[in-house]
Amino acid sequence: MSAPRVGGELPGPRSRELLERARRTLYAGTGGGLAPFVLARKDGYTLEDVDGNVYLDLISASASVPLGACREDILEPVVEALRRYGNEDSHTLASEPMIELAERLVDIAPEGLTRVDLALNGTEAVETAIKMMRRATGRPVVIGFFSQYHGESTTTATLGAEQSDISRGMRTFAPGVVHAPYPHPYRSPFGPPRPGGSGDATVDYLRDHLVFHAVHPGDVAGVIVEPIVGSGGVLVPPDSFWPALSELCREHGWLLCADEVKTGFGRTGRMFAVEHWDVRPDLMCLGKGMGGGVMPIGAVLGTERAMGFDDVPTGSTWAWLPAACVAALRTIELLSSGGVLENVRELERVALEELGRLAERHECIGDVRARGCYQAIEFVRDRETKERDPELLERVAEEALRRGVLADPSTTSYNIQPSLVMPPDELRRALRIVAEAVDAAAGEPVRGRVATAG
Ligand SMILES: Cc1ncc(COP(=O)(O)O)c(C=O)c1O
């Protein structure tokens, strides 16, 4: 498909008709949030709608399609496995792909993660990890961080704190979670770390304030951290965060759980994002890209301390259907066979160059960030006050879509998540279209100081 190619107004006539039908029957919270076109087919990193418009895809199905859409070399073995096994509840009957996958995950995971449990998706993986943390420590409280997203189920929505509307009306019904600000390089409420402290401002806050005033450290099971925040806007913590946090966990017997549902399987340029800092988590949650963009699958990995028991009921019927295990095995093989992670790092270089240049031209851009195929632009009304500009964010997304580029404006920033195998020149082309969209939405570009790029 030659992309992008968009003619006329969006939605086109056929999409409009279908979206009207969808909105008549779907729950309005879902129907109202749909993109203004209806998908007809996907190919690599392009999407075609039912009116024949073709878009460059910079969302990758919420980062669940890592290696391009509908890849024959993943689909083929998956279809064969579906023919052979259909579905089987892997909690009842084992199959070879299931056993092989558990072994392969332990091979590629950070040292110490020797146990694997099945999950249907990322949400279920996080639910299971919370149960494991409480069971392993006998303690009730889990510490989460602002800006993080962990899912929409009652518990995961309460653990997440990306935006308060996600847990509205629910948070008070799911106790056992407390929050601290994420080590947010652009919006940290803290100054520099205090002299004689942990060496990291966020961990100083946990030590000096949270566990001093609000929650006794002996009630805390552990912390759940997105090693790089994804949906909340690609936040890369400072290097000082990890040793200080690990030390705090060690001191109080807390478990450190890395939510790698979105960062895992290559998205940030390493197989897992914790590898950027050589962090050794006690638990790790996986999902999204694990299924190679063709099957739903997730997992929880843990140390013997975190998961070395058998009395926590977990999972659900469709978790690890054999064909999904085949998809995950094939995905790991493709990611491990060379070239992909190198391409991801090249895409990061392209993004920093293009987005950095864009930020120089527009005062309305407060910050641009990129780590691998995790990239974001944050729009502000004023660079000094850093007041967010959600209306501009929406306008940029509309202008980009009209020019045939689909990225994700649904959170606090314009999130760009290309396929890990997108050719660098294609990403450059797509980001130049985004730049045109910013020019159109924000008005005349002005020269300002260079925004930071993390
Ligand atoms: C970090 C993180 N954890 C968990 C989830 C939940 O995953 P899923 O929606 O695939 O169940 C998400 C989804 O965006 C996520 O980004």
Which tens digits make up the pLDDT trace of 438-452? 999 998 665 544 333
Question: Residue ranges per domain, the chain?
Answer: 13-70+340-442, 72-336
Residue 177 CA from chain centroid, whole number: 21
Candidates 3.90.650.10, 3.40.190.10, 1.10.3720.10, 3.90.1150.10; CATH matching 13-70+340-442: 3.90.1150.10
Q: What is the pLDDT of residues 50-67, one digit of tens each?
A: 999 999 999 999 999 999
**From atom 3 of ligand 1, which residue's Cα is the shortest distance away?**
150
Share of the chain above pLDDT 70, in %: 97
Atom of ligand 1 nearest to the CA of 120: 11
Rounded distance between C-alpha atoms, residue 375 and residue 355, angstroms: 9
List strand residue ranges (DSSP E) for 274-335, in order: 283-286, 298-302
Q: How close is the Cα of 224 to the center of ligand 1, in Å?
A: 13
Ligand 1 pocket, mutate which of 124, 149, 229 (most atoms under 8 A from CB): 149
Mean pLDDT value across residues 111-125: 98
Atom of ligand 1 nearest to the CA of 123: 11
Q: How close is the Cα of 105 to the center of ligand 1, in Å?
A: 19
**From atom 13 of ligand 1, which residue's Cα is the shortest distance away?**
151
**From atom 10 of ligand 1, which residue's Cα is the shortest distance away?**
122
CATH 3.40.190.10 applies to domain 72-336: no
Q: How close is the Cα of 393 to the center of ligand 1, in Å?
A: 22
Rounded distance between C-alpha atoms, residue 44 and residue 54, angstroms: 12
DSSP assigned state of 5: B
Ligand 1 pocket, mutate which of 120, 147, 150, 316 (most atoms under 8 A from CB): 150
Q: Please list every protein residue whose CB sits less than 6 Å from any atom of ligand 1.
A: 62, 121-123, 126, 149-151, 226, 230-231, 259, 261-262, 287-288
Atom of ligand 1 nearest to the CA of 260: 1
Torsion of Cα atoms, 308 then 310 then 312 then 314, to 10°: 100
Atom of ligand 1 nearest to the CA of 63: 14
Q: How close is the Cα of 411 to the center of ligand 1, in Å?
A: 14
Mean pLDDT value across residues 390-412: 95
Topology agreement, domain 13-70+340-442 and domain 72-336: no
DSSP 83-132: HHH----TTTS--HHHHHHHHHHHHHSPTT--EEEEESSHHHHHHHHHHH
Q: What is the pLDDT of residues 267-297, one digit of tens each?
A: 999 999 999 999 999 999 999 999 999 999 9
Q: How close is the Cα of 261 to the center of ligand 1, in Å?
A: 6
Q: How close is the Cα of 150 to the center of ligand 1, in Å?
A: 5
Per-residue pLDDT band at 164 (split at 50, 70, 90) = confident
Q: Could you tell me the pTM of the whole model?
A: 0.96
Q: What is the pLDDT of residues 202-244, one digit of tens each?
A: 999 999 999 999 999 999 999 999 999 999 999 999 999 999 9
